[in-house]
Amino acid sequence: MNRSPNFLSGSAAFLALGMTATTLAPIVISAPAFAATFTDIRTHWARPFIEPLGAENIITGYPGNKFNPNDPVTRAQVTAMLRQAFVNNKNIQLSNQFDIAAAENFINYTYEDGRTSRTRLRSTDKLTRAQVLVAITKGLGLEPTNAPEEVLNNFTDASKIPDYAVDSITAATEHGLVVSYPNVAYISPAKIATRADVAAFMYQALVHEGAFSPLSSRVQASRYIVEGTVDDNQASVPYNNPNNSTGGYNQTRQNEQYRIAQGTLINVRYLQSDKVVVAPGETLNMTLLVADDIRNSKGEVLIPRDSQIQGQVVPRYSGSQFLGGQFVAQRVVVGNRTYNNVNLTSQLVTGQKPNDVSQQTLQNSAISAAAQVLLGRVTGGRINPGNILGSVLSGQIPNPQQQTTNQLTIIDPETDLRLTFGNDFYVNGVASSTR
């Protein structure tokens, strides 16, 4: 495997991986400095959404100053959060009155064929992402301005949106309320909403109402905000606009010659090390290189070798159970063109117990500081890692008491991070016409 001859350590390696500290957008309302600094969101993707809400007491945490961002939300919790955000908080000035009755009526009952059923939801019932988005949209009184098939076409899983939610999610998408981590190509309507999801939706709703400022485009979390735009003069075909850096999408007609089919596999290389080791819950920015030319049926090169694929290794959970990490691409750089919001992911890389990890396994590995701490604590110094990276994203080593598992994610980029397109992808021309 090709890699740099002198692996960078410490702060230099921190910069080599493109890790950046998360910053927070200012709030329009007059507010004190963040009063609620939850201890378990320092490296969480939703931190820029959560912290401002905590500062205004729109959301509250748990004992130990924790927010539990990955916990599912219940009907009672969502009801309380909506009331606190849009009704009870005297510091929040909305441009329109929030119809809390409309929001609560929706989440108090189930829907069948677009109509309220007689089945009342229990206060402990968990809500899906679709249910939460519909409740917020109904409270704001938002209606779609374009046909749902035009706005929702960019979501790979749009067909999974239940009938009762189509119009509301269309409106939510048009008005920037939808936040989809880690990939804006998926709306995940049937997925149980997490506390982080609800915080992100509410933050965007408050932005829509003029109470909060939008996140800066320099903030990592802004990339997960979905914005829907439709070109009325063009066909509704997915298109990755190289000039689009807003976190949304545009649609226009594309030449079939420039299409890379859904399911196309991309082999990648990583120059910094043979392996990368991260602790549970960490999110790692990585830049991969395309290992082989991606060609069309005529042999023309659409994505040449050594093009950059920028993205993140993100933690995956089933409820509170840590499963491992998955690489999710955020952009593809081909020459001087940048394609944003690509639907390109790796398989899940499952975690390993530190006691099962040998010194040989970690040879030529880049190991995050948090993973080093976990290795030392569990193995009692049996493992002596060589090249150590700075802690991921926020520069903070997670508190060992906050870790729910001792599993490490050990990634071999060449074998574990082979990427697959989740939908058809169009480029703006060929890079080469030679076979």
Task: Please report, for the domain that includes residue 405, its CATH number.
Answer: 2.40.128.260
Give Cα separations from 45 to 40, 54, 184, 222, 332 (angstroms).
Answer: 11, 16, 14, 10, 21
Please report the pLDDT score of residue 396 as a whole number.
36
Residue 34 falls inside a structural domain: no
Residue 410 falls inside a structural domain: yes
Residues 205 and 265 in one domain: no
Domain final residue pick, 155, 181, 215: 215
Please report the pLDDT score of residue 73 as a whole number.
93
Residue 192 falls inside a structural domain: yes
Residues 324 and 383 in one domain: yes
Which of the 8 DSSP states describes residue 299? S
The CA angle 56-61-63, to the nearest 5 degrees, is 135
Residue 65 falls inside a structural domain: yes
- The whole-angstrom separation of Cα 99 and Cα 91 is 18
Residues 370 and 421 in one domain: yes
- The whole-angstrom separation of Cα 196 and Cα 320 is 13
Residue 121 · residue 76 · CB < 8 Å: no
- The whole-angstrom separation of Cα 122 and Cα 119 is 9
Residues 274 and 195 in one domain: no
Please name which of 93, 124, 87, 122 lies closest in space to residue 108, comparing C-alpha atoms.
122
Residue 249 falls inside a structural domain: no
Strand (E) or helix (H) holding 120: strand 115-120
Please name which of 340, 392, 350 lies closest in space to residue 370, comparing C-alpha atoms.
392
Give Cα separations from 354 to 318, 332, 351 (angstroms).
Answer: 21, 34, 9
First vs last Cα of the chain: how many Å apart? 25
- The whole-angstrom separation of Cα 317 and Cα 338 is 30
Please report the pLDDT score of residue 30 as a whole number.
28
Please report the pLDDT score of residue 96 as a whole number.
76
Domain range for 59 = 47-215
Give Cα separations from 80 to 56, 74, 157, 261 (angstroms).
Answer: 15, 10, 30, 45
Strand (E) or helix (H) holding 377: helix 369-379
Residues 286 and 398 in one domain: yes
**CB neighbours of residue 299 within 10 Å:** 12
Residues 268 and 145 in one domain: no
Mean pLDDT by 10 residues, the chain (435 residues): 29 27 30 56 92 87 90 93 86 79 84 56 89 95 90 88 93 94 91 96 90 81 76 33 34 65 92 83 86 90 94 78 84 84 86 68 74 70 51 38 63 92 82 54
- Find the length of the chain: 435
Please name which of 34, 121, 111 lies closest in space to residue 73, comparing C-alpha atoms.
121
Residues 173 and 270 in one domain: no
Residues 275 and 422 in one domain: yes
Residues 283 and 203 in one domain: no
Residue 262 falls inside a structural domain: yes
Residues 271 and 363 in one domain: yes
Residue 106 falls inside a structural domain: yes
Domain final residue pick, 192, 215, 238: 215
**E strands along 189-254, which residues?**
238-239, 250-251
Domain final residue pick, 215, 241, 271: 215
Residues 56 and 188 in one domain: yes
Residue 434 · residue 299 · CB < 8 Å: yes
Please report the pLDDT score of residue 13 as a whole number.
29
Residue 70 falls inside a structural domain: yes
Which sign does the torsion angle of CA 64, 70, 71, 73 carry?
Answer: positive
| Three-class secondary structure of residue 310 per DSSP | strand
Residue 40 · residue 402 · CB < 8 Å: yes
- How many separate domains does the chain show? 2
Residues 182 and 294 in one domain: no
Which sign does the torsion angle of CA 182, 188, 194, 200 carry?
Answer: positive
